[in-house]
Structure 1
Amino acid sequence: MKTRTFKRFGLCCMPLAMLQNAGATVAVQQPVLQQAAYIVPADSLGSITSEQPVLTAMHASAKKFTAAYIDEHDELLDKIKEQNNSSFQLIRKLLQKEGLPAELVYMTVVESKMKNTATSYAGAAGIWQLMPATARTLGLKISAKEDQRRNIYKSTAAAARYLNDLYDEFDDWLLVIAAYNCGTGNVHKAIKKAGSRDFWKLQYFLPKESREHVKRFIAVHFYYEEKGSVVTMTKNEHINYMAAVEKNNTADNNNEEQQPAPASPQPTLNWVLITIREGEFQLVLRK
């Protein structure tokens, strides 16, 4: 019997109607908000097993910061998403067009709360908070009549070019996000002092604002996505994650080849136990 566990950050419950429509047998213990258990046919959750076979976990060093950040800013984050939903979708498409992970859109939330009117004390402007010199290098026009840093299309295209250049240099998304905030020179200095390219090992050699900037991005990503992705992992974490996915898929394929087809179409041993304990949503898949 194989057991796999999935946890979704910040998700407190699954609507009972969804489970019942999937053919679930529901057993609820009181009080409902503290503990509940659902038995669901495994085939009704096939997309979960195929799309997310291994947990994309949050690094332990980010958990405390994330919990405090979300506790303080959850209403603001909801408001930003509600008021800028079309901008979210547009930016995601523009990033993907440039070959970048769509989840980098959450940088605009951290940088500017997605406000085109945002201007920092240092002179950075627009949703991507580009500095004048950087913006001009990336081909944007800045004059008394026009500041293309405040144009969502042109600024996103420019930011995408910059992010691609940073990734070519660091080959690690957390280092890219740090360098976007404090410059490549500071990140290279931190790497040299730490003797490591792992963000979690070099973070305290970065300016405090920059290491917290990266953690704010991770917090916002997990808040909106309820899971991590390639842009919330170090390079080594991503390598290990992909290896775990491949190992998991290989094991599943081997099990399918070795096991005979079931005599009955009704699921007998395939089931999913879904539990909620103290606000944590957990799926345990058994085959």
Structure 2
Amino acid sequence: MKSKVVFITGGARGLGAGLAARVLIKGGKAFIVDVNADAVFQQVDALGGEAIAGCRANVCNQVELELAMAECKERFGRIDVIVANAGILKMGSIENMNPADFDAVMQVNVNGVFNTIRAGIPYLRETKGYLQVISSLAAAIHTPLMGHYAASKAAVEALADVARQELALDGIDVGCVHPTFTNTAMIKEVNAGVLWGGHKGAFGAVEPEQVIDAMYRGIEKRQRKIIAPKTITPLVLAPGLFHRVAEKLSRMQGSEKALRKFKDDEAKTVIRP
């Protein structure tokens, strides 16, 4: 990692901020972007030093991403790694979710990754660099109340698989990260623990450091598939075999009761024409 430059979207908090800190510790340089300008600059100040910089950029805006990457190269001279980490999570049943929520999740989680890849290709081509996109266990195991999120993360995995083949000729490697439910602020803000907080074993939530470790190792080794924790590897690699098992375990661990309550509460707030 020494002297490598890592560009991270969604880098102001959570996994993105943790990865930036790890890059700095290992002797690399990090450039973080986020839609929240104040959060970006607070994080840059918190990490401190000449090896960290950042700016505001909305991943839904191709031009803003292009300008951010140009600023990164101007500051550090190159971009060796791009991490498409920005994402959002909302909860809602297909029946009652606000269509605007579905659109927002797809815009950030899918279009944002597409835009990041597009903007980053010229820089990674110069350095024969590495692209890492953040998918999820939700791409393989589709849990209730997360139709928009699961669909977006499945699409992200598909984008990574296609990009890997298309960019191989340029010496660019592509990795796709599949973390399980992780105790980040994003998960807590939507109170996802109501549905999954009691899950144990392969479906239990993990702490951010465990995922950050896997992301960092993926960058060092230019891995194509990064799964955290490793215990969920069978679920990610052969999801169809485990759908029924996952659904049964989910019911046994209380998600069905939580789902009924969530939908009852949700239905009371829906305004229909």
**Shorter-chain TM-score: which interval?**
under 0.3
Larger Rg: 1
Structure 2 length-normalised TM: 0.24
Structure 1 length-normalised TM: 0.23
